[in-house]
Chains A and B, each alone.
Chain A
Amino acid sequence: MNPLALIGHTFLEFLQATGRLGYFTARATSHCFRRPFYFRQIGKQLLDIGYFSLPVVGLTALFTGMVLALQSHSGFSRFDAESAIPTVVVLSITRELGPVMAGLMVAGRIGAAIAAELGTMRVTEQIDALTTLSTNPYKYLIVPRLIAGTLVLPLLVLVADIIGVFGGFLVCVARLHFNAANYISQSWQYLEHRDVTSGLWKAAAFGFIIALMGCYNGFNSKGGAQGVGTATTNAVVTASILILVSNYLLTGILFAGK
């Protein structure tokens, strides 16, 4: 094929894919504000996305905080700035590492699960069956996941923030022999309300993105087992990339001029 035609074809395919995703997002979001609401489904998703992700998010946050403290100590000790470690740990965790690490871990766990479940439902005609049973698949399958993802990720990140900061505290006090009371007071001293809330806003956006990409890829999967596999991979990859891109954009917006 002519290279120019190939570029043009790829660009048109990209525009088509963007348009399809935009239409799907608009349609799914509009259903979030219209009855009926399937509260039982929303509750189930809150449990799946939130409660069952706690162990993986907690462990990730704990070790991230611990490594951060170790690395900060290794670097800061070169110019006698160890006293800044508690502040660096708490700001890094609450502003960036808490939401991003939790987002990426949940994208791997939940994005894949949503895409696999909806993809299997698509190829086994269960989604068509929902329609024939007078139930809108957007409302029954997608809205509960979007709502649960958006609501529950900030809570997960709040837990991740606490555990991550505790990880840093643990390493500094137990291994690097910091004074525990001083560490806590240093952590609090420069921490602002906005440091935590900005992370929670990011988390809400990441939760929406994870659920959306899982639903979009699963809902539109085709071609049997291979199609479901592709949908699952795409859901995780696209959610992870969008998390990193939107993290940059949101940081620019939330900390504009600060």
Chain B
Amino acid sequence: MSDNQPKIELTGVTKSFDDKHVLRGLDLTIAKGESVVIIGGSGTGKSVTLKCILGLLQHDKGTIKVDGQDIKKMSGTERDEHLDKFGMLFQGSALFDSLPVWRNVAFKLLQAHHMPHKEARERAIATLASVGLSPAVGDLYPAELSGGMQKRVALARAIAAKPEIIFFDEPTTGLDPIMADVINELIVKCVHELGATTLSITHDMASARKIADRIAMLHEGRIIWQGPKRDIDHSGNPYVDQFIHGRAEGPIRMQVRRF
């Protein structure tokens, strides 16, 4: 792979659910080691974009390339290798409630990398420590944790296998402002330590400003503006201005239905 090859490249990606056209020709390029945040209203296709890149949803048209490989043309083994590059923090944490915390964090190490039990547990405890959780938390079950702690565990699970690419789906949703900032700080710290490429989606502008190198605005299935985070306040784009200032009045009419 050449150094200037994008890590992730989406070209003309479309995705529809019956007669609802969610993505309508999405173009986005993310360089290796870059942290991109997609902002946009509810129902604009942010989560669908992430799921298409992961292969959880099949896009209809266009190409999605990761490390130059078209994900639609991957064989079974290539797809396994493709997924092995990713870590993901889900909006609702998506922790496995039948497993204790340490097994959640070490899940990929145990099941996919076949790491010995003892070593996987040690790695899980060390990763929990890196997100500010004590070893005792490792033996608790997800239902015994607060929302903020669950987010930390989900972050630990996303980074435990040291992925090359990490996706953050609404990482601060449902958290108080202080805990949201703690999670943002942890994301920045962990991503910096791993040197990973990240793609995040959020409504939370404070979060976007903190974790992004570049911000892209998704509206009606297309990227309508993108640029360095310092430019967001003088983008000159009325859609971006309305969104970042949270105004009800403006060119954006909010979607009511979720895809």
Residues of A at under 8 Å CB distance from B? Answer: 38, 121, 124-126, 128-129, 131-135, 140
Contacts and interface: CB of A to CB of B under 8 A. Distances in A.
Contacts of B55: 131
A132 B92 CA distance: 15
A132 B84 CA distance: 8
Contact of A131 (B83, B96, B157): B83
Contacts, number: 49
Contact of B90 (A121, A129, A140): A129
Given A125-B90, A125-B91, A132 B96 contact: no
Interface stretch (B21-29, B67-75, B107-115, B197-205): B107-115
A140 B96 CA distance: 13
A142 B83 CA distance: 20
* 7 residue pairs, one from A and one from B, having the closest CB atoms: A134-B112, A129-B94, A125-B94, A133-B108, A132-B88, A125-B90, A135-B111
Given A125-B90, A133-B111, A134-B83, 7 more contacts: A124-B92, A128-B56, A129-B88, A129-B96, A131-B54, A134-B80, A134-B84
B258 to A, nearest CB: 10
Contact of A134 (B91, B94, B111, B157): B111
A125 B92 contact: yes
Contacts of A135: 107-108, 111-112
Interface of B: 51, 54-56, 80, 83-84, 86-88, 90-92, 94-97, 107-108, 111-112, 157, 167
Contacts of A126: 94-97
A126 to B, nearest CB: 5
Contacts of A128: 51, 54, 56, 90, 94
B98 to A, nearest CB: 8
Nearest to A38: B111
25 contacts: A121-B96, A124-B92, A124-B94, A125-B91, A125-B92, A125-B94, A126-B96, A126-B97, A128-B51, A128-B54, A128-B90, A129-B88, A129-B94, A129-B95, A129-B96, A131-B55, A132-B56, A132-B88, A132-B167, A133-B112, A134-B84, A134-B108, A135-B108, A135-B111, A135-B112
A32 to B, nearest CB: 17
Nearest to A123: B92
Select the residue from B54, B83, B84, B157 with max chain A CB neighbours within 10 A: B83
Contacts of A134: 80, 83-84, 108, 111-112
Contacts of A132: 54, 56, 83, 86-88, 167
Contacts of A129: 88, 90, 94-96
Contacts of B87: 132
B201 to A, nearest CB: 14
B56 A131 contact: yes
A38 B111 CA distance: 9
